Amino acid sequence: MNKITKRNLVVVFFLIFVFKIDAGNNVYGNDFTIEQSMVANMEELDFSVNYSDEIKCGEETTFTVIVEGGSGVFKYRIGNIMRVDDGEMNYVVDPSKLKYQDNNQLDFTFMASGTYRLDFYVMDMSTNKYVRKNLQLEINDPSYPTIEAMADQVVGRCLAEGNVTEYEKALWLHDWIIDNMSYDNSLIYCGAEGALARGKGTCESYHRGYAMLLKRVGIETIRMTGNGHLWTGVKLDGKWYHVDTTWDDPGYRDTNVDINHLYFGVTDEIITQVHSEYQPNSAYAAESIDNNYFVKNGQLQVWMDQYVNEIQQHLSTNDETFSINAKNVQWIESYKIVINSLVKQGLQEKIIQGEFTSGAIERVLVEYNSDIFTFHVLYKNSGWIMENGAYYYMEDGKRVTGWKNIEDKYYYFNENGIRQTGWIQEGSAKYYLNTDGVMMQNSWIDGCYYVKTDGRMAVSEWVDDGKYYVDSDGKYVPGKKQSGWKKDNKGWWYEKEDGSYPKKQWLQIDKRWYYFDLNGYMQTGWLKDGGAWYYLETSGEMVCNKWINNMYYVKQNGKMAISEWVDGDKYYVDNAGKYVPGKKQSGWRKDDKGWWYVKEDGSHPRKQWLQIDGKKYHFDVNGYMQTGWVKDGNTWYYLETSGEMAYSKWINNTYYVKSNGNMAVSEWVDSNKYYVDSNGKYVPGKVKQ
């Protein structure tokens, strides 16, 4: 027998606290009522807890409480039983179910290794005061793994069975829970330990076990509550759904409805019908049925198909409000609430999508109440309609004629607006429209004719990636071969339509150039032809406008560059074709201050004239190109906005620059017709004597 201060190989005891609690009410439940005490100086109670030297999982462990002090009239209780799951302390049992008793021997059976905390209470009946001790146990039983290890094992089976999508994983783990658990009618076990180790528990246990498994496959969950019940919110493919593993495990099967998946992937609307106190949260809004069990397995479609004919009849006559009696009225109410709510939402979505009718519908509202579906339909004056078996498309209340692109599909409507099918002729081209009226593209028709990307029937050309040939009537010509690449153990070669193949020559194929050697095999790497070098990729394609090995440059015509500037005149290659590092191309440059000029040696002119491409420019002391009037020595010059020095022209109709660019002073100018003074200004009216 051990006390709580002793350490052994199986159980490790941590810090034990003794609390003196003021007189007050019982902490949990209504099993023992204590009136408020007015006793002032009560002697403190102290107690110890004895238990077996070896605690084994699966076997009942008896804890004996020994009290010292007090009146000698006591009641005893385990107040809390908790364990650490995934780093968090969680209840193993519902504390309200742990009652005070007269016997000082308290029993509990552990079912998994891990860290547990037990709270023991002793009540002095004469004073209505109690003390509490916390006992923390570290249990390591090789026959009973931790809850985490159990969860990992279940998840491993789930993944090993090929479940890949979030829906597949969530469904498999849901089924595992309900197949391996039963509801604890005693309402004691409320944690993941009950779900995974005991195989029984309350709704809390169902939720915690399921959430623990989902966490391990990366699926987000949240705890949902309402009307004294709880279940799991599950996020699948970015959308929230309600999943109730407890209600999906009623303990029996029903041949009419798969009740074991009735609450897998349901909406807020459904949940609020069965749990009126549930308050939807916009952060976890469950509105989609995409991952509902009955949607995924096709059963919802079967249920909806029962109503298609009736719906179509009403929609064909543009009925704005109509009702349909629900099928399967023999189902119990709880089934019908869920299933017919799904049917209602599914029908609403299908109608607006146009799957049950070709009618153009703006908005649909479907209601379900008392075994009746009521439809409220708002029709639009644009979209598909059907009349007397013919299909039309409306725009602004008018029937469309001719070609029309509708949702990236092409249709053709005759002069009366009727949607066409089969072959149609428009000008010299023929098109084929399938039974839905959609223009076919890139397809064989009747195994004989081929329609291309633009829908036109192919004529006298190779089709279907060049594999087949059609004649002038568009018919497939059996046996005709397309030219193309061939390969043998020596390399690649090319067969022409006439069966010949190129030798020792260039050939352009699909706008790319290739060279074939004397034996007709495609060459790669460097090739010298007619004094010029070319480079061929491993694919055989001649390279253009590209550096080879960061050393040689091949030009637009494929020839290796020699003694020239290349690649946008940014780099220079010598007479062997090699790149010359550091050599710069002269030319103009611009920054936020203006234009300047770089010479081949990298320098740039400053405070000087420079002739560039036959034109003279002047650069200031900082090297920037000047414009406007510039004085050099005693002479004025005029520089255009381009920087080019002006010659033989009037400036602002006042000053004249001569053929050398000098501003004229005190002389006759412009073929001796006009005179400028000593400041260079034109003198009006002066006549030459």
Per cent of the chain over pLDDT 90 is 70
Within 434-573, strands assigned E span: 443-445, 449-451, 461-463, 468-470, 484-488, 491-495, 505-509, 512-516, 525-529, 532-536, 546-548, 552-554, 564-566, 571-573
pLDDT at 12: 31
pLDDT at 25: 26
pLDDT at 19: 28
Mean pLDDT across the stretch 384-410? 86
pLDDT at 330: 87
Of 542 and 353, more confident: 542
Say if residues 162 and 169 touch (Cβ distance below 8 Å). Answer: no
Q: Taking all residues of the chain, what is their mean pLDDT, rounded to a whole number?
A: 88
pLDDT at 16: 29
For residue 235, the cross-strand partners are 240
Residue 621: is its pLDDT beyond 50?
yes
Residue 318: is its pLDDT beyond 90?
no
pLDDT at 500: 87
pLDDT at 30: 28
Distances (CA, A) of 393 to 361, 398, 407, 542: 12, 8, 12, 53
What's the pLDDT band for 129 if we cut at 50, 70, 90?
confident
Distances (CA, A) of 442 to 289, 426, 539: 36, 18, 28
pLDDT at 395: 82
Q: How far apart are CA 167 and CA 248, in angstroms?
A: 17
Residue 305: is its pLDDT beyond 70?
yes
Mean pLDDT across the stretch 377-403? 81
Nearest residue to 629 via CA among 613, 618, 614, 615 = 618
What's the pLDDT band for 382 if we cut at 50, 70, 90?
confident
Residue 351: is its pLDDT beyond 50?
yes
- Backbone conformation region of residue 59, classed left if phi is above 0, alpha if psi is from -120 to 50, else beta: beta
Q: How far apart are CA 119 and CA 129, in angstroms?
A: 16
pLDDT at 378: 81
Task: Write the pLDDT tens digit of every residue in 417-439.
Answer: 999 999 999 999 999 999 999 99
Mean pLDDT across the stretch 564-581? 88
